[in-house]
């Protein structure tokens, strides 16, 4: 990176992506502040308590910032109360833009999500229409609008929006990890024929692209972030079992309609009982659907991902289930 930045704010920086990004930025000599409601386990000395819903805390954290990178979001499917999606993702974005304007901070990088596109029948690029299916996608889309208002209000403001697909990597405990863990256990059960492809992004690569965006200092750009190639479920299972040197104990599949029926039952039970269950209609839909996105713009930007998808997958599997 050409110039060392004295103060990079990582909002939501205590999480999976933020912790990795902070380590990389620090290794390059940048000054980093991790602003989050949760204390940073990776970098406790850099952590400052900050709730994006609290303007006073945002003012304190962001004062003197060279750039704000907003990774903070309510993203789980089962967030309660549901009002948190709007309070954190949308109102938090509005407040952050207000604070940036008052403090004279001219650069923001916002991590949105490809979830705003929903389940497109064909891969969509950045010009694709929003067709979100849940509150997370809806509020990410509304948050993008808040940042665009901020950008348009001052010609000197610089905005980069990055829409990653589902992110995986060492130490993550999200959807991809749960899938890999099931495959590694040998008890994975395929839903449908397994021909649905999934776009994924490796944490080391998405962090590298955020750093690349810092170097480029884009005026106003939006990028999908996907690591290629996209694997279908059968290919993914084959790659994981090959790395592990194991075979599935249940080498057959279940028709999707049976799983959807079971998920509908658990959704009803969750509504009646107030409990949360690991299976739901939306989670089955995410698993069973084709979710492939166009990342041509990112690939043509000059950025070269430091890790190939096969290498990233093997690094993750070895870290989690072998080493």
Helix (H) or strand (E) holding 49: strand 47-49
Query: Does the active-site annotation cover 307?
Result: no
Measure Cα distances from 195 to 189, 241, 313 in Å. 14, 17, 19
Measure the CA–CA gap between 305 and 319, rounded to whole angstroms: 20
The residues with which 162 forms a beta bridge, in sequence order, are: 111, 223
What secondary structure letter does DSSP report for 232?
E
Measure Cα distances from 83 to 55, 73, 87 in Å. 18, 13, 6
Catalytic hit among 85, 117, 132, 136: 136
Measure the CA–CA gap between 111 and 14, rounded to whole angstroms: 15
- Kindly give the pairing relationship between strand 8-11 and strand 47-49: unpaired
Around Cβ 29, how many Cβ atoms within 10 Å? 10
The answer to whether residues 309 and 202 touch, using CB atoms and an 8 Å cutoff, is yes
Structure tokens at 215: 């170097």
Q: Of 271, 219, 245, which is closest to residue 80 (Cα–Cα)?
A: 271
Own/partner long-range contacts of 294-297 (Cβ < 8 Å, ≥24 apart): 294/123, 294/124, 294/125, 294/128, 294/224, 294/226, 295/199, 295/223, 295/224, 295/225, 295/226, 295/228, 296/125, 297/125, 297/126, 297/223, 297/224
The answer to whether residues 215 and 255 touch, using CB atoms and an 8 Å cutoff, is no
Catalytic residue set: 136
């Amino acid at each position: 990176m050409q110039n060392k930045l004295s103060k990079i704010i990582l909002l939501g920086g205590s999480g999976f992506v933020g912790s990795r990004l902070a380590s990389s930025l620090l290794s390059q000599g940048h000054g980093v502040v991790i602003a989050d409601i949760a204390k940073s386990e990776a970098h406790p000395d850099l952590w400052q308590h900050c709730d994006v819903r609290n303007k006073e805390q945002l003012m304190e954290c962001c004062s003197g910032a060279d750039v704000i990178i907003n990774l903070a979001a309510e993203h789980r499917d089962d967030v309660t109360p549901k009002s948190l999606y709007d309070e954190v993702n949308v109102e938090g974005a509005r407040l952050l833009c207000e604070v940036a304007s008052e403090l004279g901070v001219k650069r923001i990088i916002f991590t949105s999500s490809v979830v705003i596109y929903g389940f497109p029948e064909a891969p969509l690029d950045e010009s694709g229409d929003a067709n979100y299916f849940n509150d997370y996608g809806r509020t990410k889309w509304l948050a993008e609008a808040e940042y665009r208002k901020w950008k348009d209000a001052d010609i000197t403001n610089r905005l980069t929006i990055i829409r990653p697909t589902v992110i995986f990597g060492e130490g993550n405990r999200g959807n991809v990890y749960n899938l890999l863990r099931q495959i590694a256990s040998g008890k994975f059960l395929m839903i449908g024929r397994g021909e649905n492809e999934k776009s994924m992004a490796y944490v080391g690569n998405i962090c590298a692209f955020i750093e690349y965006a810092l170097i480029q200092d884009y005026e106003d750009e939006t990028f999908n972030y996907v690591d290629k190639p996209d694997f279908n479920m059968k290919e993914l299972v084959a790659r994981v079992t090959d790395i592990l040197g194991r075979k599935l104990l249940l080498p057959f599949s279940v028709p999707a309609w049976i799983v959807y029926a079971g998920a509908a039952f658990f959704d009803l039970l969750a509504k009646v009982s107030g409990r949360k269950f690991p299976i739901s209609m939306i989670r089955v839909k995410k698993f069973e659907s084709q979710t492939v996105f166009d990342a041509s713009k990112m690939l043509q930007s000059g950025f070269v991902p430091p890790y190939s998808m096969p290498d990233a997958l093997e690094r993750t599997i070895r870290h989690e289930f072998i080493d």
